[in-house]
Structure 1
Amino acid sequence: MTRRVRTVLAALLAAVLGAVAIPGVAQAATVNYVALGDSYSSGVGAGPYDLSTCLRSQKSYAPLWAAAHSVTSFRFPACGGAVTADVINGQVGALSSSTTLVTITIGGNDAGFADVVSSCRLGSTSACETAVNNAKAFATTTLPGRLDATYAAIRNRAPAARLVVLGYPRLFETGWCGLLAMSSYKRTILNQAADLLATVTAGRAAAAGATFVDARPFFAGHGVCAADPWIRDVSGLIEAYHPDADGYRYGYLAALTAAIG
């Protein structure tokens, strides 16, 4: 048998073996991954960003996870500033019946969390309390229905996909943080609001049959005012109170990997 014939036969055998599942031999899984959500998924805070208005960064947890797992396909419509309606009306179009994995962070913008933090950063203690209480009331009355509708829209477009809902971290450590920082009390009630948002989101994710990933333990000790913060303070207007590159890698990516591998 000539070398050319052996080469042709080897190529044919490889093609056959690649096309046919062999009992007892593990086959590479097909992973068609779509990352939906808001700025905590698009990677705001990590930089550098793409040329869209969504501030997508390749240092966010989603592209990092996709690269580490050599996925079959990866789509990344997550967008800074997104609310649940944006996911339903725009982002779910990236899904299909062949999608096998969907991740999402959503709900914080619906609850107006950025405005709440700004009210506490710039306003009085009373103004901070009012903003936090309003956000908590929204999270318990209106947000659950919006989350249900969002998860249902995802299921409708990608019925075979595993849906993974990631929560938000607590933004603050509550110890001494300098004379110009928010008071410990303000930081504490903001963290309590984040805890409530996590509880609500986890409940609705469970009702939708999704996997909830709690980011809070992975960011513990690395909030604003920590010795080694993974959350940006007010140094960047757009990036304020978002994870930095370490937060996405060692916080969110670690949390996602712990949950799904």
Structure 2
Amino acid sequence: MRNHLRTGAVAVLACGVLVAAVGLTQHGHDGGTAPVGPYVALGDSYTAGPDIPDQNGTPLGCDRSSQNYPALVAAALKLQPAQITDRSCSGATTADLSGQQSTGDGTNPAQFSALTSDTRLVTLGIGGNDIGFSSLITRCVETGVLYYAIRLGVNTGDDAPCRTQYVTGGTDKVQQKIDAAAARVSAALDEIKKRSPKARVYVVGYPAILPDGDTDCSRAMGLAPGDVSYLREKEQDLNTMLQREAKAAGAGYVDTYKPSVGHDACSAASSRWIEPLVPASPAAAVHPNAAGERGMADAVLSSVEG
């Protein structure tokens, strides 16, 4: 998810070159059976891989990496370049699946325009920008700064000051956005099936951004302790919605959260899949690094070849 989190947040979708190829099968990277292609990747920045070398694709404003999970999946399945269309684009929402998306450097065509009746594999990584997760994290970082400003006498003692702003009177504004996004994800999956009826479709969930338990995220993310729990809960709720809509549409769901536990933005630099506010590896803040994209690719391949 990247609402251009050059300030520190999140975005999602996938990139492209359209082709027609035979829908046969072949042995995948672990001996399983997987479709040859064509493969179309749809999604936002968690799919695109902003700031991970090498950045390529058109338009450049989508921030696609040659090492993002669609590229790694295609390589493992031994697809030819003409057999993969990666339309993912940083900042994408479900609206950008059916409409053009303007970026800081060019316009990305409607992601659905890459789908044809010949398409045999589709991955969809979307939803984070629909619920404004990027701006949510930014806001929580801002309240975290106040929480930790003890010497200035600003700390109110509320260990979840950001949550307090979003949950009022028993109403969780973020949960409302997740619930509202469900219908848009459902409609997107229906459209994919309509355009590519022979394709195997997989919804790709989001990896763990924040840790379980009592891990201190004050240095890496600047979040108050209670807000770490709140943001983690909201990401899990988003993934739960995506999994539910995938099942309802007869699509597969790729769980990237479980294998990424312990590799969050607050973990050691040598083991993390998600970079913190100040990245130590070439990647956008609060986004997967190269190891994260590899981990996501492995999860996709396990589902596709399972």
* TM-score range relative to shorter protein: 0.7 to 0.9
Hey, which of these two has a bigger chunk of helix by percent?
A: 1
TM superposition shift of 1:29: 5.7
Task: Give me the CA root mean square deviation.
Answer: 2.2
Given that residues 41 and 85 in structure 2 are in contact (C-alpha distance below 8 angstroms), is that contact kept between their aligned partners in structure 1?
A: yes
For residues 28-66 of structure 1, the C-alpha deviation after alignment (integer angstroms, 9 at most, x for no partner) is 964210001111111125233126110000111100110
Structure-2 change in CA distance of 1:126 and 1:184 (3 Å): closer
Structure-2 change in CA distance of 1:64 and 1:49 (3 Å): same
**Mapped partners of 1:28, 1:87: distance in 2:** 25
TM superposition shift of 1:126: 2.8
Query: Could you say which residue in structure 1 is the equivalent of 2:28?
Result: none
TM superposition shift of 1:153: 1.4
**Mapped partners of 1:56, 1:48: distance in 2:** 8
**Mapped partners of 1:177, 1:91: distance in 2:** 36
**Mapped partners of 1:219, 1:156: distance in 2:** 33
Query: Could you say which residue in structure 1 is the equivalent of 2:136?
Result: 116
**Mapped partners of 2:54, 2:78: distance in 1:** 22
Q: Does 1:243 align with 2:243?
A: no
- The DSSP-based 3-state class of the residue aligned with 2:208 is coil
- The DSSP-based 3-state class of the residue aligned with 1:137 is helix
Choose from 170, 183, 195 the match for 1:145. Answer: 183
Hey, which of these two has a bigger chunk of strand by percent?
A: 2
- Matched to 1:145, the amino acid is A
Given that residues 186 and 249 in structure 2 are in contact (C-alpha distance below 8 angstroms), is that contact kept between their aligned partners in structure 1?
A: yes
Larger radius of gyration between Structure 1 and Structure 2: 1
Query: Could you say which residue in structure 1 is the equivalent of 2:69?
Result: 61
Query: Could you say which residue in structure 2 is the equivalent of 1:17?
Result: none
Q: Does 1:87 align with 2:126?
A: no
Equivalences, count: 233
Given that residues 43 and 55 in structure 1 are in contact (C-alpha distance below 8 angstroms), is that contact kept between their aligned partners in structure 2?
A: yes
Q: Does 1:52 align with 2:60?
A: yes
Choose from 208, 212, 215 the match for 1:175. Answer: 215
**Mapped partners of 1:29, 1:127: distance in 2:** 45
**Mapped partners of 2:34, 2:94: distance in 1:** 34
For residues 82-115 of structure 1, the C-alpha deviation after alignment (integer angstroms, 9 at most, x for no partner) is 0001012200100100000000100110000001
Structure-2 change in CA distance of 1:115 and 1:100 (3 Å): same
- Matched to 1:119, the amino acid is R
Runs of 4+ in 1 over 6 A off after TM superposition: none
Instruction: List alignment gaps of at least 5 residues for structure 2.
Output: 1-23, 25-32, 100-109, 145-159
TM superposition shift of 1:157: 1.1
Choose from 227, 234, 244 the match for 1:203. Answer: 244
